[in-house]
Structure formats: C-alpha cells, structure tokens
Chain A
C-alpha cells in the first residue's frame, strides 16, 4: 500500500503565481516525521523541511510554507510568488520506521 501519495504528477505555472503541492500519508504510528525534498534537474535531493507528528503548527520559510493537518493526514507545501528557479521535482516523505517517498510532483515555472 502506498504510504505517501502525491496526487499531482505535474504542475505548470507562470512566474509569480502561487503553487500548492498536495501530500497525503498513511501510517499506524503515533510518532513519525514528515519531510519535503526538492530535486532540481541536477539530480541532488535537497532537504527543505522536517516536521514531527506532534507539531501541527504551520511553518513559513521565505516564499515556502507548509500546512500540516493530522486530522486529514496531509502535509501540503505552498510556493508563493513562484520563480523559474523553483522548477524541480518535489518529494514528500514519511519516516515512521524508514523513509518512504511519494512519487513526486514536477513543478514547471514559466517566465
């Protein structure tokens, strides 16, 4: 069974538009960690954020923000005022006993 579902395969936006990436996860554990990674065309996975299951506060870091809702098992990611450099594949991941990745969402930001 898929533990992390990223329903959006590809999203294309024009620069300065906001884009929200959905992530739904499944686990029986009460203690777990959620992550977002960015994979630009160069191929390296870049860590963006780590959130534990007991902390449901939303987080903002510059143009990035994350919305964690335990009630719906979702950990969504929003890029505000997107830029061309945001073009990448974004992965949501769940660490309960090991790190499980979603299939990724390809974001293309057009100038």
Chain B
C-alpha cells in the first residue's frame, strides 16, 4: 500500500523566488495536513483540509503562503516570495479510515527540505 507521496524531496532557491510543494495522500484519506518543521523542533500545523475545504488555516502566513486541494485528493503548498526564514522541512500528512488505528492517526510523507539562500 502506497504511503504519502511528496515532491520534490529537496529544493534550494534564492530569496524572493516562488516555490511549490506537492503532496499525494494515502488513497481514501479525506483529511490532509501541511506542517512545517524547523530544525530541532517538532512539526507545526500550517493548514488542514477536509476533502476540498480548508478547515484550519489559522497558522498559515497568508501574505506569502497559499495552498489548494482542488479535487480533494492531492494538494499543493506555495510560497511566494520565499524569505530566508522559510528554510525548513515541509511535511504533508493524511488521515482517514485505515482499520484499527483511528481515523485521526496521521501518516506522514518524507517531506521537502527547503533551503532559501
């Protein structure tokens, strides 16, 4: 069974450039999450989707960050323009029925490591 897929795995950009990250959740999972993980810290939620609807985007810096999940499956997170402080790992997770482990258990992708120069 395929897990959460993310691309790219690594991205290096100059500040002020745009960047986009893509995520494909586990098949059948309705809930999708984007997290940011700074070095030496735990992940912090940026946005949560239930199907196509963003139900919690309170931590998303909306001046430069945007996200979409148009068909309720895969999702894209964009930063425009990127700043030095955006350097971090961006993690995607999904949750849903998987039998026995609760519909709230989140399964994570490998992440995208962003470096802004």
Instruction: Identify the A interface with B (CB < 8 A).
Output: 4, 33, 35, 37, 42-47, 50, 52, 91, 93, 95, 98-104
Interface residues on B, range: 20 to 34
Instruction: Identify the B interface with A (CB < 8 A).
Output: 33, 40-45, 48, 56, 89, 91, 93, 101-102, 104-111, 113
Q: What is the minimal beta-carbon distance from A33 to any residue of chain B, in angstroms?
A: 6
**Bound Cα distance from A37 to B106, whole angstroms:** 10
Known: A43-B113, A44-B108, A50-B105. A98 touches B45 (CB 8 A): yes
Q: What is the minimal beta-carbon distance from A3 to any residue of chain B, in angstroms?
A: 10
Residue with the highest number of chain B CB atoms closer than 10 Å, among A35, A43, A101: A43
Is there contact, CB below 8 Å, between B108 and A50?
no
A100 partner residues in chain B, CB cutoff 8 A: 42
Known: A43-B113, A44-B110, A44-B111. A98 touches B105 (CB 8 A): no
Known: A42-B110, A98-B48, A98-B56. A47 touches B105 (CB 8 A): yes
B44 partner residues in chain A, CB cutoff 8 A: 101
Q: What is the minimal beta-carbon distance from A44 to any residue of chain B, in angstroms?
A: 4
Q: Across the two chains, which residue of chain A brings its CB closest to B106?
A: A99
Q: What is the minimal beta-carbon distance from A42 to any residue of chain B, in angstroms?
A: 7
Is there contact, CB below 8 Å, between B41 and A104?
yes
Q: Across the two chains, which residue of chain B brings its CB closest to A98?
A: B45
Q: Across the two chains, which residue of chain B brings its CB closest to A46?
A: B108
Is there contact, CB below 8 Å, between B110 and A43?
yes
Query: What would 14 A/B residue contacts be, using CB atoms closer than 8 Å?
Result: A4-B42, A37-B108, A43-B89, A43-B110, A43-B111, A44-B109, A47-B107, A50-B105, A91-B42, A91-B43, A95-B104, A99-B45, A103-B41, A104-B42
A46 partner residues in chain B, CB cutoff 8 A: 108
Known: A33-B104, A47-B105. A93 touches B42 (CB 8 A): yes
B102 partner residues in chain A, CB cutoff 8 A: 33, 50, 52
Q: What is the minimal beta-carbon distance from B45 to any residue of chain A, in angstroms?
A: 6
Q: Across the two chains, which residue of chain A brings its CB closest to B110?
A: A44
Residue with the highest number of chain B CB atoms closer than 10 Å, among A33, A52, A98: A98
